[in-house]
Amino acid sequence: MTPKRLWKYLLLFLSLFSLTLRAEETLTRNIDWPIFMSRQDMIWEVMPKAWYEAPFLGNGLLGAMVYQLPGENAICFDIGRSDVHDHRDGTGLYDIPRLLIGKMALRPHGRIIATSMRLDLWNAELTGKLTTTEGAIRFRALVHSERMCLVVETLAEGNERDYRYEWLPARADSPRFLFAEDGKSWFQNPVDYQSNPSPVMTLSADGGECQQPLLKGGLTVTNWRERRAGEPSRRTLYLNVSHSYPDSEAIAQSRQEVSAACTQTYDSLRVPHCRWWNEYYPQSFLTLPDPQKENFYWVQMYKLASATRADRALIDNTGPWLTVTPWPNAWWNLNVQLTYWALNTSNRLELAQSLEKAIYNNTEHLINNVEPSYRHDAAGIGRTSNLLCQSDRVGIPGVSKAAEVGLLTWACHNLWLIYRHRMDDVLLREKLFPLLRRSINYYLHFLTTSADGRLHLPRTYSPEYGVATDCNFDLALLRWGCQTLLTAAERLNLNDSLIPVWESTLKQLTDYPIDENGLRIGSDTPYEHSHRHYSHLLAAYPLYLLNKENPTDEALIQKSLLYWQSKKGHHEGYSMTGASSISSALGKGDQALDYLNGLFGQFLCPNTFYKEAGPCIETPLSGAQSIHDMLLQSWGGKIRIFPALPSVWKELAFDRFLTEGAFEVSAVRKEGQTAFICITSLAGEPCIVCTDIASPQFKGSRTFRVQSLGNDTYHVDIKKGETLYIYPQKTRPTFMIEPVSYVQGNVFGLKNNE
């Protein structure tokens, strides 16, 4: 063989070898989504009898829950719509609260003797069977992903062809008012509260309409119609709710929506509905060796997309599924913030647009929420608001009885996280930066200087605990806000006139008040009694201003966490999820799982909802974020893969999770070891990776420059659009994402033995 021919074959061999390497470094996914999601379904073998047990459906605005009417031989579809609220003068929970709508009761001919239902998460569809003394009624139901309609198809067996529907309108009064009427509440209703007018209902041979006028104008309209096609025993119900203010457009809207839906069969409507959901779930993937946690996680992903969409409502304390409750609005002292966290890592930022739009489209209301003398440069939000961010006036530090001033800044932290996972500098410049600037300006009006030159805050309110001077909650948010404004100004190349003020504030701001037990509530207020909220620990989580990279901080955080948790009298579910995430921030995976198990052991309802006197949607959703925090963290400009894994989780995988800096990350654990990591840069930000792989190799479409920074941390020069694979030296992993095997799923719902 000639040297020329030999060289040709050598080049061919090297080319094929290179292609083989690149083929091996291509991520594949072996996920049969319908089968995988079927093991997450919730199953009811007995009849749910309350909101907290019921299967739920939603499309981000319209929602329904299905359960037995109390004391009656009927099931109901309890209907809610997030934007149905009152419009009275004022900003309180009796003036502009969400309003109940009503229930569609299905009354069988015979007595119900057995029930079975399955909530198919993959298709967002409820199927079930009511067995009665006269036969059976099979049904399937969905709240359409695109149309504002509940659609229910029934098939009657035996003598059940005579079952009937009945609309039961709710009282359109503040749910807080209705809650207190039972005499068991801790607050008194206003004596001059005036009820809204009674509903006006019109029935027809195939349906009906219910109009609920409001005292201050506008109304809510529920319209429904039944259609029979094909078999005499098969019927389809179409139901819409519309709301308008101050006019009566809802009447025409509701009629038009139902008329349009009625032209299609259940099956034809089901096609686009299922398509939306089947495209939603694969945006990211998680599988765990713990069926309870895996099932729980996917129910939360279903719940989030049922509760909001990019063009639909902010998620308040109940989402679309309002019930009689003392919490009929959005709460900004924790609830909204926790609700939206899980959308970042799970790569479902489209849903997070409902939070962005609620805040960015209502900045005038945020400005009007502060006293007139501060509106020229400040903004804020009170503890509760409607979906338009209208709230009671924010208190004045040192003057008001309970000046809860940091809530807008905390909401801005949520917006900052959304920005950091997306890296949209136009939005940062035009929306977030100006709003955060106003939020921090409110603090700056009240800082005082002590003899030693340190800046101090007068008495403000630490959520759920009380007032304190130099309140740790507010010091943390003020410090974070100034740091973030400086970071944003540098990134955007802004020469803002307040840059020297933010810099001097950071230099002079007093330290966090601490004592022998850790972080105090404030300088004059120790942590003395049980406190469900971790407001005094905000510097550690979610702000990470105090963090484990500083050994002194690490010891302080652990001491503060354990002391907070030692006083258990008033702890609630989010006390468990908060403690779990703080533990993960410290890298303590077993401790994080122990705390998370406390949510499941005491607080979680059969349908994964949660209540504290009334429903609070945020706590289970924050449980999903607690799982994220065990698997992936990205604070401080570093991507930390498996930073706090419980030792019992030997096999798991996640795919296309999102981090700050807009990196998509996939990773697999096998037999307690990290098999591989895959990182794709979506924005070209600096990539610093922390991994427990002892001797990692870094591969991709080119040779990356890798710099070891110590402590299992590496800087890699990955550019926008490039993909990086990390795996142990001397291994050839199979770059495949697939579900973990386990015997039994379908944990949630109601089983016969419960």
For the segment 690-713, the average pLDDT, to the nearest whole number, is: 96
pLDDT at res. 219: 97
Task: Name the percent of the chain lying above pLDDT 70.
Answer: 97
Instruction: Give how far the C-alpha of residue 476 lies from the chain's centroid of Cα atoms, to the nearest Å.
Output: 23
Alpha-carbon span 16 to 115, nearest angstrom = 61
* Residue 278 CB coordination number (10 Å): 15
Alpha-carbon span 485 to 248, nearest angstrom = 45
pLDDT at res. 728: 97
pLDDT at res. 10: 47
State which H helix or E strand residue 518 sits in: strand 518-519
HSE of 426 in the Cβ direction (CA atoms, 13 Å)? 0
Q: Is 261 exposed, middle or buried (0-12, 13-18, 19+ CB in 10 A)?
A: buried
For the segment 219-248, the average pLDDT, to the nearest whole number, is: 94
Q: Range with the lowest mean pLDDT among 22-26, 275-279, 283-287, 454-458?
A: 22-26
**Angle CA(599)–CA(602)–CA(604) in degrees, nearest 5?**
60
For the segment 183-202, the average pLDDT, to the nearest whole number, is: 92
Q: What does pLDDT average to over the chain?
A: 95
* Residue 328 CB coordination number (10 Å): 29
Q: Does CATH number 3.40.50.300 belong to domain 54-282? A: no
Q: What does the block give as tokens for 310?
A: 């990019």
Distance in Å from the first CA to the final CA of the chain: 79
| Closest to 266 measured CA to CA, from 126, 77, 167, 164 | 126
Q: Which residues 6+ apart lie within 8 Å of 426 measured at CB?
A: none
Domain residue spans in the chain?
Answer: 54-282, 348-522
Task: Name the percent of the chain lying above pLDDT 90.
Answer: 92
Alpha-carbon span 286 to 351, nearest angstrom = 18
DSSP secondary structure letters along 220-240: EEEEEEEEE-SSTTEEEEEEE
496-536 pLDDT per residue, tens: 999 999 999 999 999 999 999 999 999 999 999 999 999 99
pLDDT at res. 183: 75
* Residue 427 CB coordination number (10 Å): 16
542-563 pLDDT per residue, tens: 999 999 999 999 999 999 999 9
Alpha-carbon span 304 to 310, nearest angstrom = 11
Residue with tokens 């590496």: 714
DSSP secondary structure letters along 54-78: --EEESSSEEEEEEEPTTSS-EEEE
Alpha-carbon span 723 to 527, nearest angstrom = 47
Handedness of CA 326, 388, 100, 143 (dihedral sign): negative
Alpha-carbon span 754 to 744, nearest angstrom = 17
Alpha-carbon span 394 to 400, nearest angstrom = 9
pLDDT beyond 90 at 231: no
Q: Are 67 and 84 in contact (CB under 8 A)?
A: no
Alpha-carbon span 358 to 313, nearest angstrom = 8
pLDDT beyond 50 at 291: yes
pLDDT at res. 25: 82
pLDDT at res. 754: 59
Q: What is the pTM of this model?
A: 0.96
State which H helix or E strand residue 449 sits in: strand 448-449
Q: What does the block give as tokens for 556?
A: 């302080």
Q: Report which residue type is found at 725.
A: Y
Q: What does the block give as tokens for 401?
A: 């009885």
pLDDT at res. 185: 85
93-113 burial code (b ≥16 CB/10 A, e <16): bbbbbbbbbbbbbbbbbbebe
Q: How confident is the model at residue 732 (pLDDT cuts 50, 70, 90)?
A: confident
Q: What does the block give as tokens for 271?
A: 């096609």
pLDDT at res. 12: 45
Q: How confident is the model at residue 21 (pLDDT cuts 50, 70, 90)?
A: very low
For the segment 286-291, the average pLDDT, to the nearest whole number, is: 98
584-613 pLDDT per residue, tens: 999 999 999 999 999 997 899 999 999 888
DSSP secondary structure letters along 122-166: TTTEEEEEEEETTEEEEEEEEE-SSSS-EEEEEEEEETGGG-EEE
Cis, bond preceding 542 (omega within 30 deg of 0): yes
Q: Among 3.40.1390.20, 1.10.3720.10, 3.40.50.970, 1.50.10.10, what is the CATH number of 348-522?
A: 1.50.10.10
Alpha-carbon span 592 to 579, nearest angstrom = 7
* Residue 479 CB coordination number (10 Å): 17
Higher-confidence position of 9 and 622: 622
pLDDT beyond 50 at 9: no
pLDDT beyond 90 at 136: yes
Q: How confident is the model at residue 273 (pLDDT cuts 50, 70, 90)?
A: very high
Q: Are 474 and 447 in contact (CB under 8 A)?
A: no
538-552 burial code (b ≥16 CB/10 A, e <16): bbbbbbbbbbbeeee
Q: What does the block give as tokens for 532?
A: 């469900």
pLDDT beyond 70 at 17: no
* Residue 520 CB coordination number (10 Å): 22
